[in-house]
Chains A and B, each alone.
Chain A
Amino acid sequence: MKERKAKEKTESKRKNGWNKQKKTFLSFRIFPFLFLFSAPAFAQQNLAAQARQKYDSGDYAASAVLFQSAVGKSPDNPFLQYDLGNALFKSGKLGEAIVSYQRAFDLMPRNSDIRYNLAFALKRAGEDLVPSGIPPILFYFFYWLSLKELSGSFWMFTWIFLLSAGIWIKMKKPAPLRPLISISLILCSVFGIWWGIRFLLEPNALGVIITQTAEVRSGPGESFSVNFTAPEGRRVEILSASSDWIEVGLLKEGSRGWVSSKDVEKI
C-alpha cells in the first residue's frame, strides 16, 4: 500500500515536473517566435519615427520614402497610410497622396484627420469627398465603418448567433440565452444589410490619376483619339484592363475612357 502511494507520489511529481518543463519549454520556444512576430512592428515604428523626423525637418521626399517602407510592412495600418499621404502631399505628389489617403479612409473612414486630409486633397483635385446633394452627416454615418469592419462585424455576430442558438438548443432552450440570441441576430442582420448596401454602392475597383494630366482615349492604344483629359488626383473607377491600358470611369463626371496604366494607381 505504501509502495503504491509512493509510486503515485513519484508519478505526480513527474507529471508536475513535466508540466513545469513543458511550460518552460514552451515559453522558451514561444518567446523567440513572439519576438519574431513583434519584430516587424518595431521596424515599422523605427521607420515611422525616422520618417517623422524627416517630415518635421521639411525633407518630405525622404519622409515619403521611409513611410512607404513602413507601409510596405504593414499595408493595413491606416495611420501609416495617412502619414504617407501627408508626406506625398507635401512633396507635391497630389495623386499619390490621394491614393494613400483613400487607402487610409477605406481602412478607417471614421477618423476625422484621415477624412479631413482626404477631403482637402480631393478639393485640390477638383472633387468633393461628400457627393453633392447628400447631407454630410448622413455620408459620415454611412461611412462610419469600413467594408472590412462591416463584413467582420457581420460574421462576428453571425458566429455569436449560430453558436449561442446551437448551445441554446443543446441546453434545452434555457431562457437566459435568449437575449444574446436576439441581440446577435439583430446586429447580424443590421451589419449584413449595411455591408450589402455598401458593397453594392461602392465601385468595384477604385484608382487615382497620378500623373499631372492623363489623356483619356476612346480605346486602349495611342491610335485612339483623346476624348478628354483628367487632372492629377481625380478618382476613377477601374472598369477593365487590357495589357498596358486601363478602362476608367470618372466618378464625378460620369465619363469613361482608356488611360495608360502608368497614369493610374489602383487603390
Chain B
Amino acid sequence: MKKKIISVLALAGCFLLFYGIQARAQVAIHASVDKTIVSLNEQITLTVSVTGSGGSIPDPQIPLLSNFSVYSSGKGQSISIINGQMETDTEYTYVLVPRFVGKGTIPPISISYGGRKYQTRPIIIKVSKNGASANQGYPRSGGAVSVQAPPGVSVQSGSGYNYARNPTPRNPDVFVKAVVDKKRVYVNEQATLSVKFFTGVSLAGSPQYNPPKLSGFISEDLPPQRNGQTVVNGRTYYYSEIKLALFPVQAGRLEIGPATVDCRIQKSLAVDPFSQSFLNNIFSGQLGMTQAETLHSEPLILTALPLPDKGKPANFSGAVGSFSLSASVDRTQVNVGDAVNLTLVISGQGNLKSLDAPAIPTMPDFHVYDTVNSLKLNKQNDIVQGSKFFKTILVPRISGTLTIPKIAFSFFNLKTRSYQTLYSPIIVLHVAKGAPGSGTGNVSNFSAAAPQDVSTISEDIRYLKPYQKVSLFERFLDFLSTAGLINFFPFLFFAFFFGLDQYEEMKVRNPLEVRKRQAFKKALQIIETAKKEHLSNPKEMTEKLSEALIRYLADKLGQSPSALTLKGLNQELQKANFRVSPNALENIKRVWDEIDSRRFAPAGATTQTANSEIADDVSALIESIERELK
C-alpha cells in the first residue's frame, strides 16, 4: 500500500516537475522592421527579438526571402534575473535590400523550442521604384549566390539574342577581376577586396558568384552590390562589383584565392539565310545557343605586417583601427543587492566583431556578472565601423559610496601607427543599505533569493584595542619572573622547617645523642647562672657548679647524674669511646675534689673571688673536655 502511495506521489512529482519546466520554458518571438515603405535602393532593418526564460534557445529560422537580399548584421543579448528567474532577450538584426518593386511579404520567422514552434506575424513591405535599378541586391558570402546581370544587358532565358561582338584576348566577352586596395596591411587592419564581373555580351540566366577562398582572414561583406558601365580597352562593359572587407588574422604573405563566376553567355552565330545549315539551325534551335562559362579572377597576395612589440600595452588584445571608449550605468542610486547595468561602448573603425571586452578591474565591493556584448555595424564608404556594446551587471555587496574604477582599452592606432590606451571615466555609485528583499532593479535582491556564503572582499589588519592596563596578576607574575634572589626565600623557609623537623625526629629517635650534643651548652648555661645569681652564696654556688660538671659528664656518658661518682667517672672516661687525656682526668679529679671540699666547708670560709675562680675552673675544665671529645 505504502509503495503504491509512493509511486503515485512520485508520478505526481514528475508531472509537476515536467509541467513546471514546461511552464518556465516560455519563449516569445517578435519581428519588426524600421520601415515598411522603401525605395528600391533603400535598406530595411529587420529585428527579430527572442525572449525566453530557459537556456539554450536556438537561433530563429529565417525563411527563404527570394525577394530580398538578406544580410545578417549582428546579435545582441541581455540577461535579466527577476525574482531569481533568469530571462534572456536576444535580438537578431538583419539588413534586407528589396529586389522587387511592388508589394512583398516577409513571411513568418519561426523558432522551435521545447517541442513547440513559435513564429512571428508576416510583415508587408512596399517597394517603390523611384528611378532606381530594379535589380540590385546584396550577395551573401560563404556560398554561391546569384550575381545580377549588369544593367543594360538583357538576360535571355529562352531564345537567342544577337549581340555583335568580336572577342579578342584583350577584349574578352566576359571576365572577372579582383583587386585589393592595399597590398600591405597590419594584422587586423582592413583591406578591401573588390571582385568585378565584366560582361560585354548578353547573359542567359543569372550568373553565379563564388567568393574567393580566403585563408588567414576574417571577411566582412560590404553591401550593396554595385553595377555600372565602363570601358575597358575600348570596349564597353557592364559590370557588377562585390566588395569584401578582409582582416588578416596572422602576419605573413596571405593568399586570396580566385573568385569565380559561373554564367551562360549567348552564342552569337553568323546568320546566312542561304546557307545549307540555316534551316537545320532553325529547326534544331541552334540560332539561340548559350554557352556556359566559368570565369576566374587572378589570385592575389596580401602582406600582413605584424604589430610592433614596442610599446604594446599589457591589456592589448588585438584591436586595430581608430576607436573611442565610453562607459555609463543605468542608475547611480541603488540599494545593496540591486543590479546596475554597466555599459561600455567602443566605437570607431576596425574589426569590431573581433573586439574583446575590456578587462574589468577587480571590484571586491561588487558581484560582477559575465559581460554580454552586442554589435551595431555601419559600412559606410566600405569601411567597417560602428559600435560594440559590452553590458555587465554589477550588484553592490556593501553600502556607501562605491566607485567603478577606470576601465582601460588599448588598440593599435593606424593613423599614428602606435598603441593607444583609452580609459573610461570613474563612475560613482551611491549605495544604500536598503531593507532585506528591497531590490528594485531588474535583477532581484540576491540576499533574498538564497542564503549566500560569506565572501571575502578584502583583508586588513584588525582594529585598535581599547586602552587596557596590565592586570595586577600579570604584574605579579612579571615581578616573580624577575624577582631573582627573592625567589630563594621559600627554599630557605622550607629548609628551615625541614631541618627543624629532622632535628625533632632525631631527638625522639636518639635522646642520648641529643644529650651529648647539648651537654656543653647546658653546662655553660648553669655556670653562667650560678655566677650571676649565687656569687654571694658559696653553698648554692658550689651546688650549681657541681651540678653543671656532673650533668655535663653524665650527659656525655649517657648516665644519670645522680648515679655518677668520681670513681665510676674515671672508669667510664677510660673506656675506648672517650679519648680524654690523663691530664684532663687529673683536672676533673682536682676540680671535683675542690667543689666537694667547698660544698662541705663551713659558712664564710670562701670569698666571692674564690667562688668566681672555681666557676672559671669548672668552665675551663668543661671546655677542655669538650675540645678533647670533638
Contacts and interface: CB of A to CB of B under 8 A. Distances in A.
Interface in A93-147: 113, 116-117, 120-121, 147
Nearest to A51: B464
A170 B501 CA distance: 7
B605 interface: no
Given A163-B494, A166-B496, A170-B497, A55 B487 contact: no
A93 to B, nearest CB: 13
Interface string B107-134: 0000000000000000000000000000
B490 interface: yes
B271 interface: no
* Dominant secondary structure at the A interface: helix
A109 B491 CA distance: 31
A83 B494 contact: no
A120 B478 contact: no
B490 A162 contact: yes
Nearest to A155: B480
A148 B463 contact: no
A147 B459 CA distance: 31
Interface string A72-91: 00101111101100100110
B448 interface: no
- List the 4 closest A-B pairs by CB distance, nearest first: A152-B477, A162-B490, A151-B481, A166-B497
Interface of B: 459-470, 474, 476-483, 487, 490-491, 493-494, 496-498, 500-501
A83 B474 CA distance: 19
17 contacts: A45-B467, A52-B464, A74-B470, A76-B470, A77-B469, A86-B463, A117-B461, A148-B478, A148-B481, A152-B481, A155-B480, A156-B480, A159-B480, A166-B490, A166-B493, A166-B496, A166-B497
B477 A162 contact: no
Contacts of B478: 76, 148, 152
B465 A158 contact: no
B264 to A, nearest CB: 79
B494 A162 contact: yes
Interface in A40-95: 41, 44-45, 48-49, 52, 55, 74, 76-80, 82-83, 86, 89-90
Contacts of A79: 465-468
Nearest to A90: B461
A157 B470 CA distance: 21
A165 interface: yes
A169 B469 contact: no
Given A55-B464, A86-B464, A77 B470 contact: yes
A40 B470 CA distance: 13
A77 B469 CA distance: 7
B477 A149 contact: yes
Given A148-B481, A152-B480, A159 B469 contact: no
B498 A169 contact: yes
Contacts of A166: 490, 493-494, 496-498
Contacts of A151: 480-481
A267 to B, nearest CB: 17
A34 to B, nearest CB: 14
A176 B429 CA distance: 73
Contacts of A82: 464-465
A261 interface: no
A120 B497 contact: no
Given A74-B470, A155-B480, 16 more contacts: A77-B470, A80-B467, A82-B464, A83-B465, A86-B464, A113-B465, A116-B461, A148-B477, A148-B482, A151-B480, A152-B479, A153-B477, A155-B487, A165-B494, A166-B494, A170-B497
Nearest to A104: B465
Most chain A CB neighbours (cut-off 10 Å) among B460, B462, B500? B462
Most chain B CB neighbours (cut-off 10 Å) among A44, A48, A89? A48
A45 B467 CA distance: 7
B462 A155 contact: no
Contact of A159 (B461, B464, B490, B500): B490
Contacts of B476: 152, 156
Most chain B CB neighbours (cut-off 10 Å) among A52, A78, A149, A162? A162
Contacts of B470: 74, 76-78
Nearest to B502: A169
A167 interface: yes
Nearest to A149: B477
A163 B466 CA distance: 39
Nearest to A151: B481
A210 B455 CA distance: 34
Contacts of B468: 77, 79
A147 B465 CA distance: 23
Contacts of A44: 467
A167 B497 CA distance: 8
Contacts of A77: 468-470
B481 A155 contact: yes
Nearest to A38: B469
B477 A169 contact: no
Contacts of A76: 470, 478
A170 B478 CA distance: 30
A162 B493 contact: yes
Contacts of B497: 166-167, 169-170
